[in-house]
Amino acid sequence: MLTALNFPQALEEVRTYHEQVTNLKSQETKLRRGLNIFKIEQPPSKDLQGLEKDLEFLEQVWTITKEWEELWDAWKVGKFEELVTTDMETTSQLLFKRLNKLVREVKVQCRQKMFERKFCRA
């Protein structure tokens, strides 16, 4: 069931998942050291690396959302005659550019994952 999250809750959820991934990576490192005793090499988990990158993307999206919400909260209570629309427009464009750059990065990562699944199966 999907529920609406506000940015503090979303950022906390992302941090929680990031901690879990960090714990899993620590367990993986211990297992890899144990396997080395038997001369068995195990590469780092691509799934964990991918999950970690996905969480970084999510954190960036929610951080941009947080910045926008904080700006909007300040702007919507200000007096109309005191608003500096050029600053508002510049700030909005900068946030939009950051979000678009992030979207491009996610698309590139998705294409790489699709390529690896299709052509790089072990």
SS3 sequence, 35-91? HHHCCCCCCCCHHHHHHHHHHHHHHHHHHHHHHHHHHHHHHHHCCHHHCCHHHHHHH
Q: Do 59 and 14 contact (CB within 8 A), yes or no?
A: yes
pLDDT interval class at 3 (50, 70, 90): low
How far apart (Å, rounded) are the C-alpha atoms in residues 98 and 15?
21
Could you report the per-residue pLDDT of 37-75, keeping only the tens digit for each?
899 999 999 899 999 999 999 999 999 999 999 999 999
Rounded to two decimals, what is the model's pTM?
0.80
User: pLDDT tens digits, residue range 11-46?
Assistant: 999 999 999 999 999 999 999 999 998 999 999 998
Instruction: Residue 14: count other Cβ atoms within 10 Å of its Cβ.
Output: 20
